[in-house]
Amino acid sequence: MSVDWGDASGDAGVPIDDRGFAYGDGLFETVLIQDGKPVLWQEHLARLARGCERLAIAEPDHHVLDALPAEAGSGLHVLKIIVTRGSGGRGYLPPASPRTRLRWQLSPFAPREDRWRDGVTVRLCALQLGCQPRLAGLKHLNRLENVLACQEWCDDRIAEGLLCDSDGMLVEATCMNLFWLRNGCLETPRLDRCGVAGTLRAALLAERPMKEVSYPVGVLNRVDALWIGNSVQGLWPVTCLENASGSPVMRWVISDVHRTFQSAAHGLLGYPSML
């Protein structure tokens, strides 16, 4: 297998027969860059490597990847890395010797500090995620479920939608992971059947005592604090949960408990503490 690195900007055109474009046959990473330095870079590289191994795609050279963040310059940026199997094959059947395609893009970024401070309202989505353990945890390019879920509301009050799997178990938000405090213990949904294993989630699991659990959405009636977060936006305290019809079902008041865990997450990202 070989790799097409793209042009110097990483934004070279992608042909119509690219398998990532045609079938979602690839992976991506979105990395926070602060003054040219990537945040949680090893966690991103590790997830990308797991995805390449599981999909049998040639992993990009780390020397090439390591050089990308410095192109951002000063300030906050988001680096999006896309790796596809390349072109060719017969229908869904991949080519015997694929030429992996790598593309990237850098964009200026400003986090939603109001959501750090004031918390957010989230809605339970009607859409349920399909279970496919071979893809569980990966940030693969086929995100149609997330696209459909995000179409369930057009209200700016709603910051995110929460997703369950086809068995009714809580999994994640549309582009964030879930965390909650219950009976004095931090918990996060287990992601062995579907969902994206976020890099902030991985760093928090490595640093703090936290259980990976499988529960239906009813567990949120018994939690003392709820957060959603990822490695770009940071951690947002949830103050209100609505059902799929838009009716409030749970509310939380932001407390020191919320701020303590939020500050731990923000410490990993280089974001300010809200304590």
Is 187 catalytic? The answer is: no
| pLDDT for residue 234 is more than 70 | yes
| pLDDT for residue 267 is more than 60 | yes
pLDDT, tens only, 52-74: 999 999 999 999 999 999 999 99
Is 212 catalytic? The answer is: no
Is 29 catalytic? The answer is: no
Reading the block at residue 180, the tokens are 């909650």
| pLDDT for residue 2 is more than 70 | no
Alpha-carbon torsion angle 69, 70, 75, 79, nearest 10: -20
Reading the block at residue 39, the tokens are 């945040």
- Residue of 202, 159, 224 lying closest to 50 (CA atoms): 202
Residue 241, CA distances (Å) to 18, 123, 139, 164, 247 in order: 40, 6, 26, 14, 8
| pLDDT for residue 272 is more than 50 | yes
Please tell me the predicted confidence (pLDDT) of residue 213. 98
Please tell me the predicted confidence (pLDDT) of residue 275. 81
Q: For the residues 252-256, what does the mean pLDDT come to? A: 98
Please give the Cα distance from 174 to 16 (Å, whole number): 27
Please tell me the predicted confidence (pLDDT) of residue 72. 95
Q: For the residues 155-184, what does the mean pLDDT come to? A: 97
Burial of 92 (0-12, 13-18, 19+ CB in 10 A): exposed
Please tell me the predicted confidence (pLDDT) of residue 7. 45
Catalytic residue of the set 43, 84, 139, 188: 139
Three-class SS state of 250: strand
| pLDDT for residue 174 is more than 70 | yes
pLDDT category at 5 given cuts 50, 70, 90 is low
b/e 173-182 (16+ beta carbons within 10 angstroms → b): bbbbbbbbbb
Strands (E), 85-139: 99-108, 120-129
φ/ψ of residue 177, rounded to 5: -95, 160
| pLDDT for residue 35 is more than 90 | yes
Q: For the residues 193-219, what does the mean pLDDT come to? A: 98
Catalytic residue of the set 30, 188, 199, 239: 30
Catalytic residue of the set 29, 59, 172, 242: 172
| Mean model confidence pLDDT for the chain | 95
pTM score: 0.95
Please tell me the predicted confidence (pLDDT) of residue 54. 97
Strands (E), the chain: 2-4, 26-34, 37-38, 76-84, 99-108, 120-129, 158-165, 170-173, 177-182, 185-189, 211-213, 225-230, 234-242, 248-251
Beta-bridge partner residues of 247 = none
| pLDDT for residue 8 is more than 80 | no
**Order of all β-strands in the sheet with 26-34:** 2-4, 99-108, 76-84, 26-34, 37-38
